[in-house]
Amino acid sequence: MAIKQVAILGSTGSIGVNTLDVIRAHPERFKVVALTASKQVDRLAQQCIEFKPAIAVLADADGAARLEKLLREQKINTQVLYGPQALVTAVTDSGCDTVMAAIVGAAGLVPTLAAAKAGKRVLLANKEALVMSGNLFMQAMKQGGGELLPIDSEHNAIFQCLPNQYTKAPSPGLGVEELWLTASGGPFRNTPLDQLGGITPEQACAHPNWVMGRKISVDSATMMNKGLEVIEAFWLFGMSLEKIKVLIHPQSVVHSMVRYRDGSVIAQLGQPDMRTPIAYGLAWPERIDAGVAPLSLTQLAALSFNEPDLARFPCLSLAFAAAKVGGTAPTVLNAANEIAVAAFLDEGMPYLQIPKVVEKTLSAIPVADAGSIESILEIDAQARTVARDFIKTFNS
């Protein structure tokens, strides 16, 4: 068995750390050849000392100089690079065959696309990259000829519940009728609507079932996360939007389901632990120990499923609407949401303004064709400017 050579984009984040945890347990299967982070120098240094990658990348020169010093002291000769282009170098020049795309947000798009074009096995956690560039990204995967394995737990579940043939080439003959994405409903599923105004970042980041990065935690609270996931499913599985359903399932045990023409519904169940989809993607088509405790159905309380309340979760409606419009609308939705979430987390913008920023930005920017990476990045930048301007008007 050839050892897989793995590059991790975003190795210091929640998904990155879980990926290294799985890899650590299987040194005979995986070798880490590139690690990247934005600013967490000390954590990246520890990871480099343990895994000795060929390349490590940080966002800026200061961080890179600090990392270089820490590594040389330990006699680790990892090449240290910095800046956005270095993320691409980590994919193209590290000798990797597998790329874990786990940067959060639009910053992950260019290196993830580079991995697709280069024919790598892409383990896709960075859903924003796919939402921004859907068609272009799927084309790049096809041209590159690599394997695309979804890491987002819902999409990983659906991938597991679909026939193998379908994941290669969706075809109506295979009897797939609907995809059912489950959602926990986040921490405010039952909070009285009149109390949502005072939500703090700490409350929004305290997810009942999953421990995740701050941005996706806020997205889970607003359910924008599920909206992004609907768009992600649309592209990954070539399924029309009317056939992608969202169900609130507070226990996060059923990670998603596929309904078939003959009446069958196939579900994937498991602990809410990202190491399961990560291990699946790393080892596919084999199965390896993910370090996850076995699921005990008899120890679970009842499993429940409900329709989402769109008045409580306007971000979900906005995402469905943007998906329907298509073109650059999902790019704008994503960019405005990133700006709004950052303003909520870091600048004291009220929680309930998040959907307003997204809605206003979507209606201010005409929809265009998302045909090239240049046009996508241009629209992304424009949407960020418009969203920031709206936030300023809220403040004044």
Whether residue 225 contacts residue 216, with contact meaning beta carbons closer than 8 Å, is answered with yes
Q: Does the annotation place 304 within a ligand binding site?
A: no
Whether residue 49 contacts residue 27, with contact meaning beta carbons closer than 8 Å, is answered with no
Q: What residues numbered 179-218 form the site for ligand NAD, per CB under 6 A?
A: 210, 212-213, 215-216
- Confirm or reject binding of residue 319 to ligand NAD (CB under 6 A): no
* Choice between 211 and 241, CB closer to ligand NAD: 211
Give the shortest CB-47-to-ligand NAD separation in angstroms: 10
Among 22, 35, 37, 122, binds ligand NAD (CB under 6 A): 37
Characterize the bridge pairing of strands 176-183 and 254-260: antiparallel
- Confirm or reject binding of residue 126 to ligand NAD (CB under 6 A): yes
> Quick one: which of 16, 14, 10 has its CA closest to 36?
10
Q: Does the annotation place 226 within a ligand binding site?
A: yes
Residue 309: CB atoms within 10 Å = 13
* Choice between 275 and 360, CB closer to ligand NAD: 275
# of chain residues touching ligand NAD (CB under 6 A)? 26
- Confirm or reject binding of residue 103 to ligand NAD (CB under 6 A): yes
- Phi, psi of 270, rounded to the nearest 5 degrees: 175, 175
* Choice between 53 and 186, CB closer to Mg ion: 186
* Choice between 128 and 154, CB closer to Mg ion: 154
Give the shortest CB-152-to-Mg ion separation in angstroms: 4
Q: Does the annotation place 185 within a ligand binding site?
A: no
Characterize the bridge pairing of strands 98-101 and 254-260: unpaired
Give the shortest CB-10-to-Mg ion separation in angstroms: 16
In 261-352, the DSSP E strands lie at: 265-269
**Full strand arrangement of the beta sheet holding 4-9:** 79-82, 55-58, 30-36, 4-9, 98-101, 121-124, 148-150
Q: Does the annotation place 220 within a ligand binding site?
A: yes
Whether residue 161 contacts residue 175, with contact meaning beta carbons closer than 8 Å, is answered with no
Q: Which two tokens stand for residue 353?
A: 């303004």
Angle of helix 329-347 versus helix 314-325 axis, rounded to 10: 150
Q: Report DSSP state, residue 299.
A: G
Whether residue 342 contacts residue 349, with contact meaning beta carbons closer than 8 Å, is answered with no
Q: Which residues bind Mg ion (CB under 5 A)?
A: 152-154
Binding mask 51-80 for ligand NAD (x = CB under 6 A): --------x---------------------
Give the shortest CB-55-to-ligand NAD separation in angstroms: 14
Helix (H, G, I), strand (E, B), or coil: what is residue 82? Answer: strand
Angle of helix 373-395 versus helix 329-347 axis, rounded to 10: 40
Binding mask 255-274 for ligand NAD (x = CB under 6 A): -------------------x
Residue 321: CB atoms within 10 Å = 14
Stretch that binds ligand NAD, among 5-13, 194-202, 339-347, 367-375 (CB under 6 A): 5-13
- Confirm or reject binding of residue 113 to ligand NAD (CB under 6 A): no
- Confirm or reject binding of residue 83 to ligand NAD (CB under 6 A): no
Q: Residues forming the annotated binding site for Mn(2+)?
A: 152, 154, 229
Q: Give me the residues that bind ligand NAD (CB under 6 A), please.
A: 10-16, 37-38, 40, 59, 102-104, 107, 125-128, 152, 210, 212-213, 215-216, 274
Q: Residues forming the annotated binding site for NADPH?
A: 12-15, 39, 126, 128, 213
